């Protein structure tokens, strides 16, 4: 599914408007902090080496990163991309980082509320390990250089290589909590099917963004 621009409207802008870009420096989890928070270690070939958590088929898994993100223009709608990273939400990319089938990473993004940090795999606005620090949200009536929102991850296959990002906006805490409980794309699809007007959860939103990671047991 692809979300119409008017359907998302200003809600995604509201989700990030109050947040400033916290820069590109890695944020390490402090001793005793929740393991769901992104962690980073020594730089390798210009990228950080570290991990975040993710959800797969009702379980929590670990994503291991060691390459930078990939965002290439032009994007599918042909309009310019205004973010400092070249990454766009609202239009698919025209260049992939490799040929062949690429699995999808679903980026679950709270809109207009802040859930408990323990339920966020990337809780720091503007930074997550080897993610872009900014996104162009102008096609969704947001800012053209908005900081990366806090979010969590869902996948439906276990793989290791490039992943194509699609964003799904979650509009209220009850819907978010249902996703946290289900930890699966099946849960998300059931919530989307029950909400055709996208009052509580959006359809899938295309991006031109790719991350490189492998999936490991938690």
Q: Which residue's structure tokens are 């698919």?
A: 92
- What share of the chain in percent tops pLDDT 70? 79
pLDDT bracket for residue 17 (50, 70, 90): very low
Residue 206, Ramachandran bin (φ over 0: left; ψ between -120 and 50: alpha; else beta) = beta
Q: Is the full-model pTM beyond 0.75?
A: yes
For residue range 31-87, what is the model confidence (pLDDT) as tens digits?
Answer: 233 333 343 344 445 688 999 999 999 999 999 999 999 999 999 999 999 999 999
Lowest mean pLDDT among 24-38, 163-177, 196-210: 24-38
CA 164 to chain centre: 10
For the chain, what is the largest distance between any 2 Cα atoms, rounded to a whole number of angstroms?
Answer: 46
Residue 100 to residues 30, 103, 161, Cα–Cα distance (Å): 39, 10, 12
Residue 187 to residues 15, 16, 175, 177, 178, Cα–Cα distance (Å): 23, 25, 10, 11, 8
**Dist CA 184 CA 55 (whole Å):** 6
What pLDDT was estimated at residue 12?
A: 55
For residue range 1-11, what is the model confidence (pLDDT) as tens digits?
Answer: 444 444 454 44
Residue 179 has pLDDT above 50, yes or no: yes
What pLDDT was estimated at residue 218?
A: 86
Cβ(135)–Cβ(179) below 8 Å: no
């Amino acid at each position: 599914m692809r979300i119409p621009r008017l359907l998302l409207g200003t809600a995604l802008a509201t989700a990030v408007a109050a947040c400033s870009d916290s820069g590109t420096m890695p944020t390490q989890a402090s001793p005793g902090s929740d393991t769901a928070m992104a962690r980073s270690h020594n730089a390798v070939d210009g990228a950080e080496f570290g991990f975040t958590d993710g959800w797969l088929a009702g379980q929590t898994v670990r994503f291991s990163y060691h390459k930078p993100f990939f965002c290439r223009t032009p994007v599918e709608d042909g309009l310019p991309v205004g973010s400092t990273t070249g990454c766009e939400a609202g239009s698919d990319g025209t260049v992939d980082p490799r040929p062949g089938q690429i699995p999808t990473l679903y980026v679950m993004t709270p809109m207009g509320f802040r859930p408990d940090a323990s339920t966020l795999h990337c809780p720091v606005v503007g930074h997550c390990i080897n993610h872009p620090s900014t996104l162009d949200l102008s096609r969704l009536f947001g800012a053209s250089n908005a900081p990366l929102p806090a979010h969590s991850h869902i996948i439906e296959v276990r793989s290791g290589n490039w992943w194509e990002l699609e964003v799904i906006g979650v509009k209220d805490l009850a819907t978010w909590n249902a996703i946290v409980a289900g930890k699966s794309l099946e849960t998300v699809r059931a919530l989307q099917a029950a909400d055709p007007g996208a009052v509580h959860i959006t359809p899938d939103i295309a991006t031109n963004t790719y991350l490189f990671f492998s999936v490991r047991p938690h």
